[in-house]
Amino acid sequence: MSELNNIALQIISDGKGILAADESTGTMSKRLENVGIESSAQNRLSFRETLFTADSMSNCIGGVILYDETINQKSKNKKIPEIISDQGSFPGIKVDTGAKTIAGSEEEKVTEGLDGLRERLKIYSDLGAKFTKWRGVYIISNEYPSKLAIHSNSHALARYAALVQEANMVPIIEPEVLMDGEHSAKECYNKTSDVIKKCFEELILNKVDLTGIILKPNMILAGNKSKKKISGEEVAKLTIECLKKSVPKEVPGIAFLSGGQSEIEATENLHLINKFNTTKFIMTYSYGRALQQGALKHWSKDLKDIEGTQKIFNHRAQMNTLAAQGKWSKEIEKK
DSSP one-letter string for 1-32:
-HHHHHHHHHHHSTT-EEEEE---HHHHHHHH
Q: Beta partners for 91?
A: 64
Q: Which ranges of the chain would DSSP assign to H, the alpha helix?
A: 2-12, 25-34, 41-52, 56-59, 68-71, 80-86, 117-127, 147-166, 185-205, 232-246, 263-276, 289-301, 306-324, 330-334
DSSP H/E element including 94: strand 90-94
Q: At what angle do helices 289-301 and 263-276 cross, to 10 degrees?
A: 150
Question: Of 16, 94, 191, 216, which is the active-site residue?
Answer: 216
What angle do the packed helices 263-276 and 306-324 form, to 10 degrees? 30
Known catalytic membership, residue 176 = no
Query: CA-CA distance, 150 to 137, in Å (whole number)?
Result: 9
CB 269 within 8 A of CB 235: yes
Residue 291: φ, ψ to 5°: -105, -30
CA–centroid distance for 261 within its chain = 13
Which residue in the list 174, 202, 263, 268 is annotated as catalytic? 174
Read out DSSP for 99-146?
EEEPTT-SS-EEE---TTHHHHHHHHHHHT--EEEEEEEE--SSS-S-
Annotated catalytic, 307?
A: no
Residues 6+ apart with CB under 8 A from 197: 246
Enumerate the active-site residues. Answer: 174, 216
